Each structure stands twice: as structure tokens, then as C-alpha cells.
């Protein structure tokens, strides 16, 4: 009968120490966090580049809801003449080199520049002669007016979310300190700077936290006022 002998050395070598396993898990988690941070930063940079490329509106190619380019609008030109005529009437009431006359001349130059800039920017005007902004995302992107409402709205949401997410991460980071309130009063600049760079890709990080269930507080931890 053949006997099978167990080698204690081989059995011992096949086992991995708990400390080594914990170190391996920590290293893998750190690598995942670093990869997510790099991907988030790249996505944020791509979104910013796309926003900048779309922010300059081109000349309107077609009427939108009865609007016409301000450079071609008769009502827009009429409104400009009306404002300049009003300023000219006021200018006649003062001497040529007086302070009010100089101020009115400067106002006239600014008025001309404002109307010229609106016309060059490709804005659309209505029957009232005033520029109108295109808020519909589809029409804004189609006719080159994304810089009027769509891009500023996207930028506002991104910046507001960025500030909130980085602030939240800072509070979570200092929560384990001996005196977390002191860190809230006197900001830890190195830590805040590090989190600010990591927060550039906050939309992706927020989605990942939502999937893991760490973004929102548990229901049992939410206090409810008595009714």
C-alpha cells in the first residue's frame, strides 16, 4: 500500500499571511482609486474642451421661432438709431467741451460698440429689436447658439457640483481626526489642494460612489422630526 506523506513546509508555503493579503487589497484599492482619478480628470478636460469649442456662436443659418439675425433685423437697427438719437438730443443741451457733453459722447460710443458686438456675435432678434437667447439645447447646438444658455448652464452645474463634492470629501477626510472641528475652522491646505485636484472628475466619482452605496446616507441614520 502506497503511503502519501504530507510536507508541512509545502503546506505552510501555500498559505498567505493575513498581513500580506491586507497589503495586497490596499494596493489594489489604491490602484483603482488612482485609475478612477485619472479617468475622471481626462473626462473633465474633454468636456471643458468641448464646451470651449461650442461657446462661440456662429451666424444663424435659419430663423428660429420667428427670430432673425440681429445684423439683418430692421427693428434692431431702428432701436439703435432711436437710442443714439435720444443721446444726441441730450447732447445738444450742453456745451461741446463740458463734462456732461463728454460723458454723453462716451455713452454714445459704448452704445454703438454694444450694438455692433451683438450683431457680430450672431445673436437673434425678435420683432421688438431686442436680442433673444436660445435656451432649447437641440436648437442651440444645431444653429450654433450653445454659448448663450446651454454652455453656461452646464458650466454652472459642473462648478457647483465640483465645489460641493470636494467640500464633502474634505469633511469625510477630516472626520477621523482627533479634533475635526479645528480642521473645518482652519483649512488643511495640502489636503484641500489634493482633494481639489482629485475632484476634477467628480461626476464619474459620484456615479461610482452611488453604485457602491457610499454616496448617500443610510435611512436609519436620517433623523426625522416628530409630527
Instruction: Give the model confidence (pLDDT) of 83-96 as tens digits.
Output: 999 999 999 999 98
The total domain count for the chain is: 2
The answer to whether residue 124 is domain-embedded is yes
Q: What is the CATH number of the domain that holds 186?
A: 1.10.8.110
pTM: 0.58
Q: Which bin fits 129, alpha (ψ -120 to 50), beta or left (φ > 0)?
A: left
What are 172's three cell numbers?
A: 469625510
135 and 85 inside one domain = yes
72 and 138 inside one domain = yes
Place of cell 445684423: 71
What are 37's three cell numbers?
A: 482619478
The answer to whether residue 57 is domain-embedded is no
The answer to whether residue 215 is domain-embedded is no
Nearest CA-CA partner of 148 in 19, 50, 26, 57: 57
pLDDT 10s digits, 187-225: 999 999 999 999 999 999 999 999 998 898 888 888 888
Indicate the pLDDT class of residue 23, thresholds 50, 70 and 90: very low
What pLDDT, on the 0 to 100 scale, is given for residue 102? 95
100 and 132 inside one domain = yes
Provide the residue range defining the domain that includes 87.
68-142
| Distance (Å, whole) CA 129 – CA 152 | 24
80 and 137 inside one domain = yes
What pLDDT, on the 0 to 100 scale, is given for residue 208? 95
The answer to whether residue 7 is domain-embedded is no
The answer to whether residue 97 is domain-embedded is yes
What pLDDT, on the 0 to 100 scale, is given for residue 59? 43
161 and 109 inside one domain = no
Please provide the average confidence, as pLDDT, over all residues in the chain. Answer: 80
Backbone phi, psi, residue 94, to 5°: -125, 160
What is the average pLDDT across 8-28? 45
The answer to whether residue 72 is domain-embedded is yes
pLDDT 10s digits, 114-159: 999 999 999 999 999 999 999 888 888 888 889 999 999 999 999 9
pLDDT 10s digits, 35-67: 545 545 555 555 554 444 444 444 434 457 789
Nearest CA-CA partner of 59 in 141, 139, 144: 144
73 and 89 inside one domain = yes
Amino acid at each position: 500500500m502506497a503511503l502519501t506523506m504530507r510536507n508541512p513546509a509545502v503546506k505552510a508555503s501555500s498559505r498567505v499571511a493575513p498581513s500580506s493579503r491586507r497589503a495586497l487589497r490596499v494596493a489594489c484599492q489604491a490602484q483603482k482609486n488612482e485609475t478612477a482619478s485619472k479617468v475622471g480628470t481626462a473626462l473633465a478636460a474633454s468636456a471643458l474642451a468641448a464646451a470651449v469649442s461650442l461657446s462661440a456662436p456662429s451666424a444663424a443659418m435659419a430663423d428660429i421661432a420667428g427670430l432673425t439675425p440681429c445684423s439683418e433685423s430692421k427693428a434692431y437697427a431702428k432701436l439703435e438709431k432711436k437710442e443714439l438719437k435720444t443721446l444726441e438730443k441730450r447732447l445738444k443741451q450742453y456745451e461741446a467741451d463740458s463734462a456732461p457733453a463728454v460723458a454723453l459722447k462716451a455713452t454714445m460710443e459704448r452704445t454703438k460698440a454694444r450694438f455692433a458686438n451683438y450683431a457680430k456675435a450672431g445673436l437673434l432678434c425678435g420683432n421688438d429689436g431686442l436680442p433673444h437667447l436660445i435656451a432649447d439645447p437641440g436648437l442651440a447646438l444645431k444653429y450654433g447658439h450653445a454659448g448663450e444658455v446651454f454652455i453656461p448652464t452646464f458650466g454652472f452645474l459642473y462648478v457647483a457640483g465640483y465645489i460641493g463634492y470636494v467640500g464633502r470629501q474634505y469633511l469625510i477626510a477630516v472626520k477621523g481626526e482627533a479634533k475635526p472641528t479645528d480642521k473645518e475652522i482652519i483649512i488643511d491646505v495640502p489636503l484641500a489642494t489634493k482633494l481639489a485636484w482629485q475632484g476634477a472628475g467628480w461626476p464619474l466619482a459620484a456615479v461610482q460612489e452611488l453604485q457602491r452605496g457610499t454616496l448617500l446616507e443610510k435611512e436609519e441614520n436620517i433623523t426625522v422630526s416628530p409630527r
